[in-house]
Amino acid sequence: NRDPRIGGTKGPYSDFHPSSILSQLPADPLVMSFILLALSLLFVFMVLIFLKVCLLGSDEEYDDWSV
């Protein structure tokens, strides 16, 4: 009943369900670094827009951001 390819020693992870994929994501350093990188880029992007709106405060300059 234990398959070493799936990781039968981990118990619940031997049954491969979509919920186990979400629980296995933090165990992968590559996936975690990718998620952290995406979140940090999103955070920086939101901070830049926040500073642009607060410091400049003019809506006419949004024409420069539309690409």
In a domain, 44, yes or no: yes
**pLDDT value at residue 62:** 57
In a domain, 3, yes or no: no
**Would you give the distance in Å from CA 37 to the centre of its chain?**
7
Residues 29, 54: Cα–Cα separation, whole Å: 37
- Residues 38-67, mean pLDDT to the nearest whole number: 79
In a domain, 29, yes or no: yes
For 4-65, give the DSSP string: TTTTGGGSGGGS--HHHHHHHGGG-HHHHHHHHHHHHHHHHHHHHHHHIIIII--GGGGGGT
In a domain, 1, yes or no: no
In a domain, 2, yes or no: no
Asked if pLDDT for residue 19 goes beyond 70, the answer is no
Domain holding 42, by residue range, is 8-64
Question: To the nearest whole percent, how much of the chain has pLDDT over 90?
Answer: 18
In a domain, 49, yes or no: yes
| 30 neighbors 24 (Cβ within 8 angstroms) | no
- Count structural domains, the chain: 1
